[in-house]
Amino acid sequence: EVQLVESGGGVVRPGGSLRLSCAASGFTFDDYGMSWVRQAPGKGLEWVSAINWNGAYTHYADSVRGRFTISRDNAKNSLYLQMHSLRAEDTALYYCARVLVFSTSQGYYFDYWGQGTLVTVSS
Amino acid sequence: DIQMTQSPSSLSASIGDRVTITCRASQGISNSLAWYQQKPGKAPKLLLSAASRLESGVPSRFSGRTSGTDYTLTISSLQPEDFATYYCQQYYSTPQTFGQGTKVEIK
């Protein structure tokens, strides 16, 4: 059974940093690209970032490029999101999601999702 | 970025009703469209990909169709477990973008 378990969320002040983690199990982690998708309270879904199977390719939404860094450790079956210069508008539930087919030439969709970890940016 | 306009934003329906949700893409996306279901407090669940391909384990009352740049999700006979919010997502190009969601409520 595919499982994705996020952690690392919390309350942080504007301008602060936070590192999210996602522990994967139930599938061969390094066969898949992975992604982060967020959902602000009471709002819709917004794709944030994605990484291919070996970390050679990373993609970012314009809203986070230059502030967030996605990475992975295949030996630990783990995905990460390092977030810097956090803003109030980054407040959201952050989901880790598996990318069925990672592409560098077009978009992709997500076949499994974790339960999310909540990031609150507030003074 | 490709904009996905989803309608309606909410609807009320009864058990057994036929329900249709529409997503309109701002440009052609060649059936590169996925539908997700999200129940309160839960993660989204993939229902269909490639506009009409039902994912394993998803009931056959869910179906998807394409008409030009309009994509529809139909639930043929609404069941109690179908009350949720539904999102479309295009993956024709990056950044992949989602519709605003349609909340299906009990009448």
Q: Where are the alpha helices (DSSP H) in chain A?
A: none
Each of the 123 residues of chain A gets a pLDDT tens digit; together they read 999 999 999 999 999 999 999 999 999 999 999 999 999 999 999 999 999 999 999 999 999 999 999 999 999 999 999 999 999 999 999 999 999 888 888 899 999 999 999 999 999
pLDDT band at B48 (very low <50, low <70, confident <90, very high): very high
**Closest chain B residue by Cα to residue A106:** B93
**8 Å CB contact between A36 and A100:** no
Residue A104 is predicted with a pLDDT of 83
Q: Which residues of B touch A113 (CB under 8 A)?
A: 43-45
The span from the CA of B41 to the CA of B71, in Å, is 26
Tell me whether A33 touches chain B (CB under 8 Å): no
Are A46 and B32 a contacting pair at CB < 8 A?
no
Closest CA to A113 of B60, B38, B85: B38
The span from the CA of A29 to the CA of A78, in Å, is 8
Are B45 and A59 a contacting pair at CB < 8 A?
no
